[in-house]
């Protein structure tokens, strides 16, 4: 008798778990479930791309500053004006 109750309870637990998993899979395969998953991935990629762009912009800014320090003329007044013609 105890053995039968044990198997009944175990069967009910396994059955409940299987119903839960099947329902979850069914919801995931609906158009709304697929859209929700894709939306989550897109927002993750968007955040990663935003971070990458910020890092890249910072590196470009640093490189530009380094190049300006290295190659820009020290005396800005020595550069002839555009309309001056070099006179």
Q: What is the pLDDT of residues 44-71, one digit of tens each?
A: 999 999 999 999 999 999 999 999 999 9
Residue 55 in domain: yes
Contact 52, 60 (CB under 8 A): no
Round to the nearest angstrom and report the end-to-end CA distance of the chain: 112
Q: Is the pLDDT of residue 87 over 70?
A: no
Residue 53 in domain: yes
Q: Is the pLDDT of residue 18 over 60?
A: yes
The tokens describing 68, both together, are 């300006």
pLDDT of residue 74: 76
Residue 86 in domain: no
Q: Which domain holds residue 24?
A: 2-70
Using only C-alpha atoms, the chain has a radius of gyration, in whole angstroms, of 33
Entry pTM: 0.46
Residue 19 in domain: yes
Domains: count for the chain: 1
Residue 87 in domain: no
Residue 11 in domain: yes
Residue 83 in domain: no
Residue 81 in domain: no
| More confidently predicted of 51 and 78 | 51
Q: What percentage of the chain has pLDDT greater than the value 70?
A: 85
pLDDT of residue 33: 87
Contact 53, 59 (CB under 8 A): no
């Amino acid at each position: 008798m105890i053995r039968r109750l044990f198997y009944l309870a175990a069967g009910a637990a396994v059955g409940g778990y299987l119903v839960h998993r099947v329902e979850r899979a069914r919801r995931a395969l609906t158009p709304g479930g697929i859209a929700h998953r894709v939306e989550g991935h897109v927002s993750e990629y968007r955040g990663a791309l935003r971070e990458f762009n910020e890092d890249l912009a910072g590196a470009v800014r640093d490189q530009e500053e380094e190049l300006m320090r290295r190659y820009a003329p020290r005396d800005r007044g020595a550069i002839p004006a555009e309309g001056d013609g070099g006179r």
